[in-house]
Amino acid sequence: MSRLYNVDIIKPNTIFQGFYMCGIMGYTGSLDAAPILLEGLKKLEYRGYDSAGIAVMDKNVISMSKVSGRIAHLCEKTNDGKLFSGHAGIGHTRWATHGAPTDTNAHPHMSNDGKFAVVHNGIIENYLTLRDELKEKGYRFDSQTDTEVVVHLVEMYFEGDFRKAVMKAASRLQGSYALGVLCSDEPDKIIAVREYSPLLIGVGIGDNYFASDVTALVQYTRNVIYLDDGEFAEITKDKITVYDCTGKEINKEINHISWDIQAAEKGGYEHFMLKEIMEQPGAVKATITPRMKDNEIVWDESGLDKLDLKNVNKIVITACGSAYYAGCVGKYVIEELCRIPVQVELASELRYSNPIIDEHTLLIVLSQSGETADTIAAMKECMKRGAKSLSVVNVVGSTIAKIADYTVYTWAGPEIAVATTKGYTTQVSILYLLALWMGKKAGTLDETLYQKLYDNVKMIPKAIQNALDLNPKIPQLAKKYHSSKAMFFIGRNTDYAVSLEGALKMKEISYLHAEAYAAGELKHGTIALIDDHQPVIALCCNSSLQEKTISNIVEVKARGAEVLAVTYKDNSNIISVADDVIYIPQIESILSPVVEIIPLQLLAYYVAKENGCDIDKPKNLAKSVTVE
Ligand code: M6R
C-alpha cells in the first residue's frame, strides 16, 4: 500500500506574498536622512539590483540622486549622503523590469512640478493605459518605467490633501505595489502604500522608517508594523497612522523582529533556493498577469505583436541547462497547439552544427541571466542565417535581450541560488502564453480549447501555491531516499521534459547521480540498471499517457525498484502500484509541467539538505556561465 502525500484542491483566495524585485526604504526623524537611507539600501544589496537612488526633502524642496550600477557609486556621488541635508527621504534599489537599468529609469521618480517623489516595488500592470491618459493631459514622462505613472497621478489628483491624492492615485493602479511617497508641502511626512508587495513600517523613538524588507531596518529598529494589502500609512517622526483602503484609521500591532541579518536576507528561510522556490506563485503571477487581458495574450512592451507568423515555417528553441529543459516543455506545447515544427537545441551544440536555418525560422532563446556565452553564440549564428529571434530573459538590458529582435521578460525578480527554480517556471509560463497566442493567430487552436487553456493558465500561480503545500511532507521522503547512490526519473511526453529538469535539480545540488529517461526507452537498455531498492521517480501527469507510464512503473517494480510517483489527486490507479505518491492539483495536462516540477525542486532541496550540501552554491558551478 502506498503512502499518500496529498495536495488539496486549489485554494481560491490564496494571496501570493513575499515576492518582490526591487528594494525600497524610507526615513523620517531628527537625523540627516541620506546616510541612513544609504546604509539601509546597502543591506538590500544581497537581493540583486542594477541601479539605485535616493530623494531627500529639505524644508520644502525635494532633491534626488540616482545612478545605474552599485550603491558604492551612489555613495561616491553624494559624498556618503553628506551632500544632502533634510530629515525625511526615500530610497530604492532597482531590478529593472520596464526599461533598461539607466540613471533616468532608476527610482525615485519625481512629478513634473517637483512637489512629489515616489519609490515603488512591484509592477503596475495598466501603466500603458495610464501613461497614454496622463500624456494626453500634458504630463511629461522622463523614464520608460511603469512607476512614473504613479507620481504623475498623485500630482494630478492633488488638491491640497497629500493623503487623499495618494489614495486616489492608488485606486487607479492595477498590479502589485509597495510605494513610498514624499510631498514637499509636508516636509517631515512620508506616505507608504501596500498592495501585493511587502511593506513594513519600522517604529523608532523620534524616528520612523518603512522598507520592503526587514534587512534594511534591523540596524535601526526591531519593532515593526506589517502593512496588509490595501493599507496606507502616514509616517512622521513622532507618529504612524495606518488607514484601510477606504480611509478609515485602523489599529495595527507592533511586532518584534528577532531574526539575525542573515536569516532576514533569506526571508526567514534557511537558503535562497528555498525562498525562491516559495516565491514561484508570485513570480509566475507577475510574469503572466500583465500579458493576459480580456481573454487575449498581449505583448505590449516587446513589439512581438508585429511578428509575421505566416512567414514562420519552423521554430528553433535554443538554451543551456534548465533553460534548455524549459524549451523541451515548449516543444511539446507549441507543436501540439500550433502545429509548427519545433526543434530544441542545446546552444553549445547548435553554435557549431552548421544549422539549417533561414529567414523563415523563428528562433526562441531562453536565458535567465541573458549572459550565457554558448546561448549568445548560438543566437548570433542563427541570426546571421536570417532567423528572427525572440528572447525570453529575466535580466533587463542583458546581452541576449539587446541582441534579440524581440524580447519578452520573465518577471521573476533576482535569482540568487545557483540552481534555478523561479527562472525555469517563469520561462515555461511564457512558453505557454506564446503557444496560446500563436495557436490562436495561426488558427490551429479552436476558440473553446483556447478559452479553456487561457483560464487554466490564469490558475497556474494558485496551482503552484497548492503544490507548495507539499512542503511539510517532502522532507520525510528525502530522508527515505537521500542515501541512494542513483535516482532515475521517468515520464512520457511533457512528463519526460519535466523529468529532465527534475534530474538536473537533484544532481546539481545533492551530487546524487540522477538521470532522466523517456519511460518508453527503459526496455531499450536502461532497465538493466534497475535493482532492489533503486529509487525511480515516475512522473504521471500527462493524462493521455498515464496507462503507458503505469505499465513502466509495474515493470521497474517487478525488478525491485522503489517508486515515488507524482500525479493528480484523482489518480487512484497509481496508489496500487507506487510505493509513495505525491499529488499535485488538477490542471489541464499540457500545463502540468510548471506544477509537477515543484515537488521535484523540493525533493532535490531536502535530499541536498540531508546530505549536508552547500545548497545555494553547489560545488563547481556558477550562477551565470559567461565563458564557453
Ligand atoms: O542564465 P541561463 O538561463 O542562460 O543559464 C542557463 C543554465 O546555465 C542554467 O539554467 C543552469 O542549468 C541552472 N543553474 C541549473 O539550475
Q: What's the grid cell of residue 492?
A: 512520457
**What is the pLDDT, as a whole number, of residue 257?**
78
Give the residue, by CA position, lying nearest to ligand 1 atom 15. 419
Same domain, 330 and 348: yes
Whether residue 12 is predicted with pLDDT greater than 60 in this model: the reply is no
| DSSP 8-state secondary structure symbol assigned to residue 184 | T
Percent of the chain whose pLDDT exceeds 70: 96
Closest by CA to 429, choosing from 403, 453, 396, 395, is 453
Structure pTM? 0.81
Q: What's the grid cell of residue 103?
A: 540613471
> What residues are labeled active site?
22, 623
Answer for the pair 539, 490: CB distance below 8 angstroms, yes or no. Answer: yes
**What is the pLDDT, as a whole number, of residue 13?**
30
Is 226 strand, coil or helix?
strand
Same domain, 321 and 344: yes
C-alpha 500 to ligand 1 mean position (Å): 13
Across-strand partners of 315? 342, 362
Atom of ligand 1 nearest to the CA of 420: 16
Report the CATH number that the domain containing residue 65 is assigned in CATH. Answer: 3.60.20.10
pLDDT in tens, 324-356: 999 999 999 999 999 999 999 999 999 999 999
Is 19 strand, coil or helix?
coil
Peptide bond into 108 cis (omega under 30): yes
Q: What is the full DSSP assignment across 41-52? A: HHHTGGG--SEE
C-alpha 24 to ligand 1 mean position (Å): 28
**What is the pLDDT, as a whole number, of residue 2?**
40
Closest by CA to 368, choosing from 419, 328, 438, is 419
Whether residue 603 is predicted with pLDDT greater than 60 in this model: the reply is yes
Pocket test of ligand 1: the residue of 324, 364, 369 to mutate, having most ligand atoms within 8 Å of its CB, is 369
Pocket test of ligand 1: the residue of 271, 396, 420, 628 to mutate, having most ligand atoms within 8 Å of its CB, is 420
**What is the pLDDT, as a whole number, of residue 75?**
96
Q: What are phi and psi of 294, to 5 degrees?
A: 50, 50
Pocket test of ligand 1: the residue of 271, 348, 365, 372 to mutate, having most ligand atoms within 8 Å of its CB, is 372
C-alpha 596 to ligand 1 mean position (Å): 19
In a domain, 158, yes or no: yes
Q: What are phi and psi of 39, to 5 degrees?
A: -65, -40
Give the residue, by CA position, lying nearest to ligand 1 atom 4. 367
Same domain, 524 and 593: yes
Q: What's the grid cell of residue 78?
A: 553624494
Atom of ligand 1 nearest to the CA of 418: 14
pLDDT in tens, 145-199: 999 999 999 999 999 999 999 999 999 999 889 999 999 999 999 999 999 888 9
Whether residue 457 is predicted with pLDDT greater than 60 in this model: the reply is yes
Average pLDDT over residues 522-537: 91
User: DSSP strand E in 41-99: where?
Assistant: 51-58, 61-68, 88-94
Whether residue 472 is predicted with pLDDT greater than 50 in this model: the reply is yes
- Sheet containing 562-568, strands listed edge to edge, beginning at the edge strand earlier in sequence: 3-5, 580-584, 562-568, 535-540, 486-491, 513-518
Whether residue 3 is predicted with pLDDT greater than 80 in this model: the reply is no
Is 372 strand, coil or helix?
coil
Pocket test of ligand 1: the residue of 271, 273, 318, 322 to mutate, having most ligand atoms within 8 Å of its CB, is 322
What is the number of other CB atoms lying within 10 angstroms of the CB of residue 80?
13
Q: Give residue for cell 525570453.
A: 392
**What is the pLDDT, as a whole number, of residue 461?**
96
Q: How far is CA 4 from CA 158, 577, 598, in A?
A: 58, 12, 17
Instruction: Report the DSSP pairing between strands 580-584 and 562-568.
Output: parallel
Same domain, 249 and 297: no
For the chain, the domain total comes to: 3
Closest by CA to 500, choosing from 353, 332, 314, is 332
Give the residue, by CA position, lying nearest to ligand 1 atom 10. 322
**What is the pLDDT, as a whole number, of residue 96?**
87
**What is the pLDDT, as a whole number, of residue 619?**
86
**What is the pLDDT, as a whole number, of residue 471?**
65
Same domain, 357 and 499: no
Same domain, 487 and 418: no
Q: What's the grid cell of residue 87?
A: 530629515
- Of residues 425 and 100, more confidently modeled: 425
C-alpha 290 to ligand 1 mean position (Å): 25
Ligand 1 pocket by C-beta < 6 Å: which residues? 320-323, 367-369, 372, 375, 418-420, 423, 508, 624-625
Atom of ligand 1 nearest to the CA of 625: 8
- CA angle 107–131–433, rounded 5-degree value: 90
Q: Tell me the pLDDT band of 517, cut-offs 50, 70 and 90.
A: very high
Give the residue, by CA position, lying nearest to ligand 1 atom 7. 321
In a domain, 402, yes or no: yes
Give the residue, by CA position, lying nearest to ligand 1 atom 11. 321
In a domain, 584, yes or no: yes
- CA angle 564–568–574, rounded 5-degree value: 50
Q: Tell me the pLDDT band of 315, cut-offs 50, 70 and 90.
A: very high
Q: How far is CA 560 from CA 196, 385, 512, in A?
A: 49, 51, 20
In a domain, 11, yes or no: no
Same domain, 505 and 524: yes
Same domain, 311 and 172: no
Is 284 strand, coil or helix?
helix
Q: What are phi and psi of 376, to 5 degrees?
A: -65, -45
Q: Tell me the pLDDT band of 19, cut-offs 50, 70 and 90.
A: low
Q: How far is CA 483 from CA 222, 480, 490, 511, 534, in A?
A: 41, 8, 20, 11, 11
Atom of ligand 1 nearest to the CA of 323: 10
Report the CATH number that the domain containing residue 348 is assigned in CATH. Answer: 3.40.50.10490
In a domain, 168, yes or no: yes
Mean pLDDT, the chain, whole residue set: 92
Is 199 strand, coil or helix?
coil
Closest by CA to 213, choosing from 163, 280, 263, 166, is 263
Give the residue, by CA position, lying nearest to ligand 1 atom 12. 321
Atom of ligand 1 nearest to the CA of 375: 4
| Rounded Cα distance, 47 and 51, in Å | 12
In a domain, 9, yes or no: no
Supply the range of the domain harboring residue 540.
Answer: 474-610
The domain boundary, picked from 217, 243, 264, lies at 264
Average pLDDT over residues 405-410: 95
User: DSSP strand E in 169-263: where?
Assistant: 175-183, 190-195, 200-203, 208-211, 223-226, 232-235, 240-243, 249-250, 255-256
The domain boundary, picked from 264, 281, 304, lies at 264
Answer for the pair 53, 92: CB distance below 8 angstroms, yes or no. Answer: yes
Same domain, 387 and 408: yes
Same domain, 220 and 187: yes
Atom of ligand 1 nearest to the CA of 322: 10
Same domain, 514 and 449: no
Answer for the pair 277, 601: CB distance below 8 angstroms, yes or no. Answer: yes
Same domain, 33 and 139: yes
In a domain, 622, yes or no: no
Q: Give residue for cell 541620506.
A: 34
The domain boundary, picked from 264, 296, 331, lies at 264
Whether residue 205 is predicted with pLDDT greater than 80 in this model: the reply is yes
Which of 47-56, 134-143, 577-586 reaches the highest mean pLDDT? 134-143
Q: Which helix (H) or strand (E) holds 131?
A: helix 127-136
Whether residue 14 is predicted with pLDDT greater than 70 in this model: the reply is no
Whether residue 6 is predicted with pLDDT greater than 60 in this model: the reply is no
In a domain, 414, yes or no: yes
Is 382 strand, coil or helix?
helix
Q: Is 568 left (phi over 0), alpha (psi -120 to 50) or beta?
A: beta
C-alpha 274 to ligand 1 mean position (Å): 17
